[in-house]
Amino acid sequence: MRISATVAVCFIVAVACGEKVDAVSKVKKRAPIPSSNVHIGVGVDIRKEPDAFRGVKWLATQAEAAAEVGFGEDSCHELSVLDAVEIWCADDFELGRITATSEFVFVRGHFVQAQVSYYPSEYDFVRAVFVEKYGKPLTEAVVPVQTPTGVQYDNDTAVWEFPNLSIEMHRYGTTIQRGVAFMTLKTWTTERALAEEAAKKKAQGSF
């Protein structure tokens, strides 16, 4: 299942039966800042910051990632977002006792974000795997969401912040059928936030 790239820098809310949801609580966008000024929460072990995902180094080329993971051209598609063309490549993999789907996101030919999707019932297992690998989350929350028809439920979230990388995971992604986790380079998050701001200013001048 592919997930829209626009959720990469903002909180993801769930939908029920294909309906969009209005979040009761929104998560503020985290604009990355130079690593020398990055605020890292108490207890975060920066030695656990990953320099790769499934063996693919950050900023690796699409060809290098394909050679490492084994996905083909037929597993990739282009997505135009603001002023950038992103290439998304999907690949299923075994994550312990479950089968998850990974998405590799390339901007200008370089790997900037990984996404992992799983069933909501597998959230606790995936979280335990992440804690074992990356340490305890910086923050965790249970955020109430609801559909336009008034159906309410809780979305578990966890966030890890490292000097160069943000990791966040959610029990529910864009649908209640799948959960999602993101691993995103902060330099790309900054670039995306600046592009969004420029787009807003351009739009304001058009009327």
pLDDT on residue 147: 64
- How far apart CA 147 and CA 36 sit, in angstroms, is 41
Domains of the chain: which residue ranges?
48-204
- How far apart CA 23 and CA 83 sit, in angstroms, is 27
Provide the pLDDT confidence category of residue 200 given band limits of 50, 70 and 90. Answer: confident
pLDDT on residue 150: 74
Helix, coil or strand: residue 161: strand
Q: What is the pLDDT of residues 1-16, one digit of tens each?
A: 444 443 333 333 333 3
Q: Which two tokens stand for residue 203?
A: 């739009």
Q: Which two tokens stand for residue 188?
A: 């790309």
Q: Rounded mean pLDDT of 159-165? A: 95
Helix, coil or strand: residue 154: strand
pLDDT on residue 195: 73
Per-residue pLDDT at 27 exceeds 90: no
Strand duo 179-185 + 84-95: pairing: unpaired
Q: What is the pLDDT of residues 37-79, one digit of tens each?
A: 344 445 578 899 999 999 999 999 999 999 999 998 899 999 8
Q: What is the pTM for the complete model shown?
A: 0.72
Highest mean pLDDT among 18-27, 93-102, 145-154, 172-181: 93-102
Residue 71, amino acid: F
Per-residue pLDDT at 203 exceeds 60: yes
Q: What is the pLDDT of residues 76-92, one digit of tens each?
A: 999 887 677 899 999 99
Q: Which two tokens stand for residue 95?
A: 């994550």
Q: What is the pLDDT of residues 101-154, one digit of tens each?
A: 999 999 999 999 999 999 999 999 999 999 999 999 999 999 988 766 677 888
pLDDT on residue 23: 38
